[in-house]
Structure 1
Amino acid sequence: MPPRDHAIPAGKPVTSLDEVLVDCRNAALTFGRGATAVVAVHGANLWVRSADRLAIVGPSGSGKSSLLHLLAGLEQTTSGTVTWPALDGPGGIGIVFQGDSLIAALDVVENTALPLVLAGVPDGEAHRLAAEALALVDAADLAERLPEEISGGQAQRVAAARVLAQSPRLILADEPTGRLDHTTGGHVLDALLTAADQTGAALVVTTHDPAIAARLTTRLAMRGGRLLTVDEPQEAS
């Protein structure tokens, strides 16, 4: 069954605050076959709801990113199911990947607008939405810079803005602070939380940093590909 804090009691009407965006039931993911097979996720059960601020915590190799990829529809389950009851499939999901993801030849606003342009949004409207998203993450002043002209923390904020410009109902962020110092990582999480609050999106963040996880409402732990516990966050030191 899904973790208790992420289950909706039987018979309770679904509201805008507890609407289930992702229903993950006994979902497993295995890479390879036979003796060389590696089980990245073992039978995970999880509901992600529309008001969630959720951290998935664990060391490198614990299966956090693999689980996130299942939630995003980037990988298909080997067994079990992942469905998106309140979304148009995984299309209502925006993903902030770890590390560099900006196109070097495009400036910041062009990078932010690119997914919208590719989706058929007219250039002017795409750039307007991109500028609004950059303002949400306090990066409006970077609009005309190239990726090589901004810092790693700024690039992660731009990556977040690129997702936010698409107005997703669920934001999945895979170790968005993993390559950043503590202060810069805190600013990136500030941007994600603020943007999720302002756009009404749910937010799921994978992290190995307990201080980052402590700032989200609920924390799940992964070890060896298994989703182990649901913890209430503790204050960051």
Structure 2
Amino acid sequence: MTSPDILVGCHGVARTYGVGAAAVVAVHGATCEVRSGDRIAITGPSGSGKSTLLHLMAALEEPTTGRVTWPGLARGPVPDQVGVVFQGPSLIPALDVVENTALPLVLAGHREEPARRRALDCLALVIATGLADKLPEELSGGQAQRVAVARALAAAPRLILADEPTGQLDRATGRHVVDVLLATADTLGAALVLTTHDPTVARRLTLQWSMDNGRLRTEPQPPWEPAAAGPHEATP
């Protein structure tokens, strides 16, 4: 692969929160590359560093050590190059659903009316057109997650990073959202990296990476299943 085919590369990346005895290492020396057309599922338990790794790839956080590069993104990790679906609430409370969805386009300099039309098209993909005029406070968790997916796709990014995109959805809706992510990535020629606890979702992507205690494994993985709860453990 030539450098332009590599959309993002992590080179010995680590991320530590806090200092001294209270320091927590969320990611330990991760090295990986995401190339054009990749379909990657990152699996692992809660707290294993999956979300932090995606945030590093999106330049939402800076590594404590190591470096992240974006050789295949002409203008770097900006909103119309990298679309991010966050695990937690991420919609802007003062904006309605269509305004939230159009935001990456507006930030990239698109005019308001074309941005609105594109936002409505993306909301239709996730079956959320009827939510267009609602404020985030009027949405359920699952509805807000679908809007977040539409927003990530609105600017036709080259790299889509989705953090537990089906986590708040019922199985049928989750399956549809993964369909949309995969189909849109195919249409755009984009790479898709998602984190998931769901082995059914993970198996739909070509590559499976895993994280455990902040350590990334990128070599071929067997079909992933969550660990069974022990006699004194609760199943997540």
Deviation at 1:190, TM superposition (A): 2.0
Between the aligned partners of 1:136 and 1:181, the Cα distance in structure 2 is 17
How many positions carry a matched residue from both structures? 222
Aligned match of 2:157:
168
TM-score norm. by structure 2 comes to 0.84
Aligned match of 2:77:
90
Aligned match of 2:34:
48
Identity %: 63
Change (3 A) 1:132 1:234: same
Aligned match of 2:125:
136
Aligned match of 1:32:
18
Matched, 1:159 2:141: no
The code of the aligned residue for 2:29 comes to: G
TM-score norm. by structure 1 comes to 0.84
Q: Contact 2:185/2:192 (CA < 8 Å) preserved in 1?
A: yes
Deviation at 1:216, TM superposition (A): 0.9
Deviation at 1:103, TM superposition (A): 3.3
Moved more, 223-232 or 76-85: 223-232
Q: Helix, strand or coil for the counterpart of 2:14?
A: strand
The code of the aligned residue for 1:111 comes to: N
Q: 1:183 aligns with which of 172, 175, 182?
A: 172
Q: Contact 2:202/2:224 (CA < 8 Å) preserved in 1?
A: no
Q: Helix, strand or coil for the counterpart of 1:153?
A: helix
1:93-108 mapped onto 2 (5 Å cutoff): 93-108=82-97
Change (3 A) 1:32 1:99: closer
Q: Contact 1:98/1:176 (CA < 8 Å) preserved in 2?
A: yes
Between the aligned partners of 2:214 and 2:24, the Cα distance in structure 1 is 10
The code of the aligned residue for 1:70 comes to: L
Deviation at 1:139, TM superposition (A): 2.9
The code of the aligned residue for 2:19 comes to: R
Between the aligned partners of 1:170 and 1:67, the Cα distance in structure 2 is 14
Aligned Cα root-mean-square deviation (Å): 2.3
Structure 2: runs of 5 or more not aligned: 226-236
Deviation at 1:72, TM superposition (A): 0.9
Q: Helix, strand or coil for the counterpart of 1:39?
A: strand
Q: Contact 1:170/1:202 (CA < 8 Å) preserved in 2?
A: yes
1:99-118 mapped onto 2 (5 Å cutoff): 99-118=88-107
Q: 1:80 aligns with which of 66, 69, 90?
A: 66
Deviation at 1:128, TM superposition (A): 1.6
Between the aligned partners of 2:126 and 2:190, the Cα distance in structure 1 is 15
Structure 1: runs of 5 or more not aligned: 1-7, 9-13
The code of the aligned residue for 1:101 comes to: S
The code of the aligned residue for 1:136 comes to: L
Between the aligned partners of 1:15 and 1:228, the Cα distance in structure 2 is 22
1:54-73 mapped onto 2 (5 Å cutoff): 54-73=40-59
Q: Helix, strand or coil for the counterpart of 1:89?
A: coil
Matched, 1:21 2:25: no
Q: Helix, strand or coil for the counterpart of 2:219?
A: strand
> Can you list the C-alpha shifts for 1:130-175, whole angstroms capped at 9, x where unaligned?
1222233333343334445544333222111112111210010111
Change (3 A) 1:169 1:58: same
Q: Contact 2:3/2:71 (CA < 8 Å) preserved in 1?
A: no
The code of the aligned residue for 1:205 comes to: L
Q: Contact 1:113/1:130 (CA < 8 Å) preserved in 2?
A: yes
